A and B are shown apart, each in its own frame.
Chain A
Amino acid sequence: MSRKPFVRKQYWNEPEMGLWERAYLPEILRGLLITGGVFLRNMGKWITGRKGALTTYYPEETRWDYAAGNRGKHVLTRRPDGSPQCIACNMCATVCPAKVIEIEAGFDPADAAHPKYPVKFEIDYSRCVFCGLCVEACPEDAIRMAKEVPHLPSGDRWAMWLGREELLAWQPQSDVAKPYPPAPAGRRAPGESA
Chain B
Amino acid sequence: MPRLTIDGREIEAAAGQTVMEAAKDAGIFIPYFCWHPQLSVPGNCRICVVGVEDKGGEWVDIACNMPVSEGMVVYTNSEKVKARRKATLQFITLNHPVDCGICDKAGECTLQDYHYEYNGERSVSVDAKNHETKHYDLSDRIVLDNERCIQCTRCVRFTREITGSAGLAMGNRADHSLVRPSEDGAFGRDAYSDNVIDICPVGALLSKAFLHKARVWYLKPTASVCPGCARGCSVNLWHRKAEWRLRAPGMRAAHESIDRVTPLENPAVNGPWICNKGRDLARVFDRARAEVAMLKGRPTDLEGALANARALLAAAKRPVAVVSSWGSNEELAAFRDALGARFDAYVKADHEPQPGEVLEDSLLIRADKNPNTAGARALFGERPLAIPREADLVLVWGEGFDFGLVPAGAKTILLNAWLAPENGHADVFFPVSAQTERSGTYTNFAGVTSAFSACFPKAAGVADAQALFPLLARADGGGE
Q: Tell me the A residues contacting B by CB distance below 8 Å.
A: 87-91, 94, 99, 102, 104-107, 109, 112, 115-116, 120, 122, 124, 139-140, 158, 161, 163, 186, 188, 190-191
B176 at the interface (CB under 8 A from A): no
B117-141 contacts to A (CB < 8 Å): 128, 131, 134-135
B9 at the interface (CB under 8 A from A): no
Taking a contact as CB atoms under 8 Å apart, the answer to whether B215 and A124 are in contact is no
B102 at the interface (CB under 8 A from A): yes
Taking a contact as CB atoms under 8 Å apart, the answer to whether B247 and A102 are in contact is yes
Q: A87-B101, A99-B243 are known contacts. Are A115 and B135 too (CB-CB below 8 A)? A: yes
Per a CB cutoff under 8 Å, which of A94, A161, A191 touches B249? A161
Taking a contact as CB atoms under 8 Å apart, the answer to whether B249 and A158 are in contact is yes
Shortest Cβ gap from B196 to chain A (Å): 19
Tell me, in angstroms, the Cα distance from A102 to B249 when the chains sit together.
10
A138 (CB) vs chain B CBs: closest residue:
B101
Tell me, in angstroms, the Cα distance from A131 to B218 when the chains sit together.
22
Tell me, in angstroms, the Cα distance from A186 to B127 when the chains sit together.
9
Taking a contact as CB atoms under 8 Å apart, the answer to whether A107 and B212 are in contact is yes
Shortest Cβ gap from B305 to chain A (Å): 35
Determine the chain B residues whose CB is within 8 A of the CB of A191 once the complex forms.
131
A190 (CB) vs chain B CBs: closest residue:
B131
Determine the chain A residues whose CB is within 8 A of the CB of B215 once the complex forms.
89-90, 94
Interface residues on B, range: 20 to 34
Taking a contact as CB atoms under 8 Å apart, the answer to whether A106 and B212 are in contact is yes
- For this complex, 11 residue pairs linking A to B, each with C-beta atoms less than 8 Å apart, are A87-B101, A89-B102, A94-B215, A102-B248, A115-B134, A115-B135, A116-B212, A122-B249, A124-B247, A163-B248, A190-B134
Q: A107-B212, A109-B135 are known contacts. Are A122 and B102 too (CB-CB below 8 A)? A: no
Tell me, in angstroms, the Cα distance from A187 to B108 when the chains sit together.
28
B246 at the interface (CB under 8 A from A): yes
Taking a contact as CB atoms under 8 Å apart, the answer to whether A186 and B212 are in contact is no
Taking a contact as CB atoms under 8 Å apart, the answer to whether B248 and A124 are in contact is yes
B460 at the interface (CB under 8 A from A): no
Determine the chain A residues whose CB is within 8 A of the CB of B102 once the complex forms.
87-89, 115-116
Taking a contact as CB atoms under 8 Å apart, the answer to whether B248 and A91 are in contact is no
Q: Tell me the B residues contacting A by CB distance below 8 Å.
A: 101-102, 128, 131, 134-135, 211-213, 215, 217-218, 243-244, 246-251
Determine the chain A residues whose CB is within 8 A of the CB of B134 once the complex forms.
109, 112, 115, 190
Tell me, in angstroms, the Cα distance from A112 to B134 when the chains sit together.
7
Determine the chain A residues whose CB is within 8 A of the CB of B244 once the complex forms.
99
Determine the chain A residues whose CB is within 8 A of the CB of B248 once the complex forms.
102, 120, 122, 124, 161, 163
Determine the chain B residues whose CB is within 8 A of the CB of A124 once the complex forms.
247-248
Taking a contact as CB atoms under 8 Å apart, the answer to whether B101 and A89 are in contact is yes
Determine the chain A residues whose CB is within 8 A of the CB of B131 once the complex forms.
190-191
B246 (CB) vs chain A CBs: closest residue:
A102
Centre residue among A87, A116, A188 by max chain B CB count within 10 A = A116
Shortest Cβ gap from B220 to chain A (Å): 15
Q: Can you add 6 more A-B contacts, CB < 8 Å, to A109-B135, A163-B248?
A: A102-B247, A102-B251, A109-B134, A112-B134, A161-B248, A186-B128
Shortest Cβ gap from B247 to chain A (Å): 7
Tell me, in angstroms, the Cα distance from A115 to B104 when the chains sit together.
12
Q: A115-B134, A115-B135, A161-B248 are known contacts. Are A94 and B217 too (CB-CB below 8 A)? A: yes
Which are the 3 A-B pairs with shortest beta-carbon distances? Answer: A89-B101, A122-B248, A105-B212
